[in-house]
């Protein structure tokens, strides 16, 4: 199976979307001749031209609104918000409008819109450019929030997102773009709302999404050497949330860590932890442990930034302290 | 009477009918609110009827209209059935949104009335998207976006003006300048309050100002703007100077408005102005107008009956229409 990186998987996903539907188009900031801040749209402008690859002014709200309005009339917009931090400038359109129109119109208004946004820290971009807000969006009924961690999942989940008749927040992590993985040439797709056991294990379950899956995988490798077998559950989407897979894993391992990159206070991990307690309390041998980002604005210098986000070492220490080993 | 005169007369009577229907619908919704059949927020359009009716009257059925929370008048002008609208205000399952939208969130996709958006300025970016789609795939329809002077103070307005102009979208911005945001005088909140239409200059967009209390003026200005838009000239901004006869919402006694100002604008009631002109110019008789008022009275009685008799939605509708998924 050919190995490609996450960026190329997304580029392929976008090409397919444009090739397979003539009313599909991409809109975003600097996605044209510039090629996109993270180069995901590289080459598309030359190939598809300005009407399919719409370079838009720096107007997040108008960009998302353009997506909503054109989706209402049958187009298939793919909106790129340069980073999830800037999506706050479009939050009115996303939360108050895109997410609500189907409900408020009793099903007559339909917004089949994909909003791609780049999440996460770890690149020394400082406090305004290193945040993870996908958990916020996941609390909104009407939105679907997808956050793939591998190139395979990214392509497979994007294909399914395109079939959705409602708004999808498609979250890509900046630090994942160069990560490589197997992606088959032949067609496949992945249903939204199904978590994936990325590594099977017996002693402890680690629940994560996006880049934290890779951190968990790194930790699990080290833990194997210490004789501790960790099971990694990649949520892949935060809404819908596949708690069945999580609970099944907890039933097997009896110990669980909920790992996330964002601030623990109010973080989406709190929702997952509480659902584990509600639905799987009797399976637990130890309290649910949460590992998340420190409750600080992300600092710039790497010495401090490294302390702000969960890393392999912290996950290992967490597992060992939870299991007392 | 020549055929042409007859056509003009029929048209003006239809529009007069709509204006009276809106006025009476709003009056009735006020009464029903007092009886607690209608709850939540209620923003009525009384006083501004000539704007909605005049502009929408100049559209073709395939054209789209999008509006704000003061939306009853626009929905009626676009042809929505008053029975379903009243039922929506009552929260009944026969309402335009089966009782899940309410006064501020009216939608009628069949009539191409695209809402009913209750976050100030939130409808404007969506209007840009509607106009983008009409330009690229529909190619016939145009879009009218109604907004108030208050919405101009939001960033979404400016982002949308810029984008609409850059892309030369078939979009008419109609600013219903009723002089107040909620309670704040526009003179205190908008730098360009005394010549609002000129804001379009900054976006290289055509614009004009019109007396929003005069149906004939509004429809002439609308016709001109719509003609330019249809010919591919890009977006257009029309400022309609108008006044709301009630407070911002039902809970607002509007004490911030000087009495002399209110009485001035009341003397320019768009329905009375139209009446006087139609009689004076011998276009219609008083009897013909009276007949319209009688018809409207019946329509309103019927709308209330319909709303009252309709059932509330079932409890299972709480969880319908949230996400359809991939369409199964």
For residue B101, give both structure tokens. Answer: 């939208």
- List b or e across A25-34, with b for residues whose CB sees 16 or more CB atoms inside 10 angstroms: bbbbbebbee
Counting Cα atoms < 13 Å in the Cβ hemisphere of B142 gives 28
Cα of first residue to Cα of last residue in chain B, in angstroms, is 58
Q: Give B160 to chain A, closest Cα distance, Å.
A: 5
**What interface predicted TM-score (ipTM) does this complex get?**
0.96
Query: What pLDDT, in 10s, does the model give residues B199-238?
Result: 999 999 999 999 999 999 999 999 999 999 999 999 999 9
A210 vs A234: CA distance, rounded Å: 8
For residue A36, give both structure tokens. Answer: 């996109």
Q: Do A75 and B124 touch (CB under 8 A)?
A: no
Helix/strand/coil (H, E, C) string of A187-251? Answer: CCCCCCCCCEEEECCCCEEEEECCHHHHHHHHHHHHHHHCCCCEEEEECCEEECCCHHHHHHHHH
Q: Compute the mean pLDDT over every residue in chain B, rounded to the nearest whole number.
A: 96
Best interface-test mutation with A: which of B321, B324, B327, B328 has the largest number of A CBs within 10 A? Answer: B321
Q: Give A141 to chain B, closest Cα distance, Å.
A: 7
Higher pLDDT among residues A245 and B250, named by residue: A245
Q: Do B97 and A106 touch (CB under 8 A)?
A: yes
B176 vs B321: CA distance, rounded Å: 32
Identify the pLDDT of residue B139. 87
Out of A63, A102, A164, the one facing B326 most closely (by C-beta) is A164
Q: Do B326 and A106 touch (CB under 8 A)?
A: no
The catalytic residue positions of A are: 60, 129
Query: What pLDDT, in 10s, does the model give residues A14-46?
Result: 999 999 999 999 999 999 999 999 999 999 999
Contacts of A91 in chain B (CB under 8 A): none
Identify the pLDDT of residue B327. 54
- At B251, the pLDDT band (50, 70, 90 cuts) reads confident
From residue A178, how far is each of A9, A10, A42, A152, A232 by CA, in Å? 10, 11, 14, 13, 21
Q: Sort residue B168 into left (φ over 0), alpha (ψ -120 to 50) or beta.
A: left
| Closest B-chain CA to A106 | B97
| Closest B-chain CA to A167 | B323
Q: Do A97 and B122 touch (CB under 8 A)?
A: yes
For residue B235, give both structure tokens. Answer: 């977006």
What is residue A182's three-state secondary structure? strand
Please tell me the total number of residues recorded for chain A in this structure.
Answer: 325
Helix/strand/coil (H, E, C) string of A150-164? Answer: CHHHHHHHHHHHHHC
Sequence ranges of the domains in chain B? 3-319
Q: Residues A274, A171: contact at Cβ < 8 Å?
A: no
Q: Give B125 to chain A, closest Cα distance, Å.
A: 4
User: Which CATH topology does B3-319 take?
Assistant: Rossmann fold (3.40.50)
Residue percentage of chain A with pLDDT more than 70: 100
Q: Is B173 on the interface with A (CB under 8 A)?
A: no
Q: Is B155 on the interface with A (CB under 8 A)?
A: yes
Identify the pLDDT of residue B325. 75
Q: What one-character DSSP code corresponds to residue A175?
A: G
Q: Is A37 on the interface with B (CB under 8 A)?
A: no
Out of A65, A160, A163, the one facing B128 most closely (by C-beta) is A65
Contacts of A101 in chain B (CB under 8 A): 107, 115
| Full set of structural domains in chain A with CATH | 3-182 (3.40.50.970), 196-323 (3.40.50.920)
Query: Could you identify the residue written with the tokens 């206070």?
Result: A265
B195 vs B186: CA distance, rounded Å: 11
Q: Do B130 and A70 touch (CB under 8 A)?
A: yes
Q: Residues A262, A120: contact at Cβ < 8 Å?
A: no
What is residue A268's three-state secondary structure? helix
Rounded to an integer, the average pLDDT of B161-173 is 98
- List b or e across A187-196, with b for residues whose CB sees 16 or more CB atoms inside 10 angstroms: eeebebbebb
For residue A147, give both structure tokens. Answer: 């956050």
For residue B219, give both structure tokens. Answer: 């429809």
Per the DSSP assignment, residues forming a β-bridge with A26 are: A53, A78
Strand A237-239 and strand A144-146: pairing? Answer: antiparallel
Q: Do B122 and A92 touch (CB under 8 A)?
A: yes
Identify the pLDDT of residue B328. 42
Identify the pLDDT of residue B183. 87
Q: Do A66 and B128 touch (CB under 8 A)?
A: yes
The one-digit pLDDT tens for each residue of chain A (325 residues) are 899 999 999 999 999 999 999 999 999 999 999 999 999 999 999 999 999 999 999 999 999 999 999 999 999 999 999 999 999 999 999 999 999 999 999 999 999 999 999 999 999 999 999 999 999 999 999 999 999 999 999 999 999 999 999 999 999 999 999 999 999 999 999 999 999 999 999 999 999 999 999 999 999 999 999 999 999 999 999 999 999 999 999 999 999 999 999 999 999 999 999 999 999 999 999 999 999 999 999 999 999 999 999 999 999 999 999 999 9
Q: Residues B157, B121: contact at Cβ < 8 Å?
A: yes
Instruction: Give phi and psi for B120, each to the nearest 5.
Output: -55, 125
What is residue A26's three-state secondary structure? strand
């Amino acid at each position: 199976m050919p190995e490609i990186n996450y960026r190329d998987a997304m580029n392929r996903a976008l090409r397919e979307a444009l090739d397979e539907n003539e009313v599909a188009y991409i809109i975003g900031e600097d996605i044209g001749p510039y090629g996109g801040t993270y180069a995901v749209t590289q080459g598309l402008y030359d190939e598809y031209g300005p009407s399919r690859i719409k370079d838009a002014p720096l107007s997040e709200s108008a960009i998302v609104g353009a997506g909503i309005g054109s989706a209402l009339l049958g187009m298939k917009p793919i909106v790129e918000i340069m980073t999830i931090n800037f999506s706050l400038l479009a939050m009115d359109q996303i939360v108050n409008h895109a997410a609500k129109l189907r409900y408020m119109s009793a099903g007559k208004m339909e917004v089949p819109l994909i909003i791609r946004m780049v999440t996460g820290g770890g690149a020394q971009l400082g406090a305004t450019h290193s945040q993870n807000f996908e958990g916020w969006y996941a609390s909104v009924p009407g939105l679907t929030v997808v956050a793939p961690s591998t190139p395979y999942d990214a392509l497979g989940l994007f294909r399914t997102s395109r079939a959705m008749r409602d708004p999808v927040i498609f979250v890509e992590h900046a630090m994942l773009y160069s990560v490589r993985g197997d992606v088959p040439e032949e067609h496949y797709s992945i249903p939204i709302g199904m978590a994936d056991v990325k590594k099977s294990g017996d002693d402890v379950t680690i629940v994560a999404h996006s880049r934290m899956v890779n951190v968990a995988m790194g930790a699990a490798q080290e833990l194997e050497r210490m004789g501790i077998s960790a099971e990694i559950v990649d949520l892949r989407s935060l809404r819908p949330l596949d708690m069945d897979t999580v609970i099944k894993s907890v039933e097997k391992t009896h110990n669980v860590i909920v790992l996330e990159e964002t601030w623990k206070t109010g973080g989406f991990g709190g929702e997952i932890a509480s659902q584990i307690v509600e639905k799987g309390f009797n399976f637990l041998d130890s309290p649910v442990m949460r590992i998340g980002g420190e409750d600080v604005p992300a600092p710039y210098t790497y010495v401090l930034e490294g302390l702000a986000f969960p890393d392999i070492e912290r996950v290992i220490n967490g597992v060992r302290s939870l299991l007392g080993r | 009477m020549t055929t042409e005169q007859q056509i003009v007369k029929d048209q003006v009577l239809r529009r007069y009918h709509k204006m009276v229907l809106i006025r009476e619908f709003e009056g009735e919704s006020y009464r029903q609110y007092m009886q607690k059949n209608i709850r939540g927020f209620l923003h009525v359009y009384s006083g501004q009827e000539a704007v909605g009716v005049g502009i929408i009257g100049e559209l073709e059925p395939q054209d789209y209209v999008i509006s704000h929370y003061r939306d009853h008048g626009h929905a009626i002008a676009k042809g929505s059935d008053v029975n379903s609208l009243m039922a929506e205000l009552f929260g009944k399952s026969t309402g335009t949104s089966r009782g899940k939208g309410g006064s501020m969130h009216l939608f009628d996709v069949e009539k191409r009335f695209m809402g009913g958006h209750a976050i100030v300025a939130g409808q404007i970016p969506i209007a840009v998207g509607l106009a983008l789609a009409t330009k690229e795939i529909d190619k016939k329809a145009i879009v009218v976006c109604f907004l108030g002077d208050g919405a101009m103070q939001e960033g979404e307005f400016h982002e949308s003006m810029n984008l609409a102009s850059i892309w030369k979208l078939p979009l008419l911005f109609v600013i219903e300048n009723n002089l107040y945001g909620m309670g704040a005088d526009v003179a205190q909140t908008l730098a360009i309050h005394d010549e609002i239409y000129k804001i379009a200059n900054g976006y290289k967009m055509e614009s004009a100002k019109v007396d929003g209390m005069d149906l004939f003026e509004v429809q002439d200005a609308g016709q001109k703007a719509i003609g330019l838009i249809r010919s591919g000239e890009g977006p257009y901004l029309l400022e309609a100077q108008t006044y709301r006869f009630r407070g911002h919402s039902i809970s607002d006694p509007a004490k911030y408005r000087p009495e002399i100002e209110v009485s001035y604008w009341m003397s320019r009631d768009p329905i009375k102005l139209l009446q006087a002109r139609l009689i004076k110019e011998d276009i219609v008789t008083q009897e013909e107008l009276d007949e319209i008022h009688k018809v409207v009275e019946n329509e309103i009685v019927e709308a209330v009956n319909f709303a009252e008799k309709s059932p509330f939605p079932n409890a299972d509708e709480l969880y319908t229409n949230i996400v359809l998924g991939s369409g199964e």
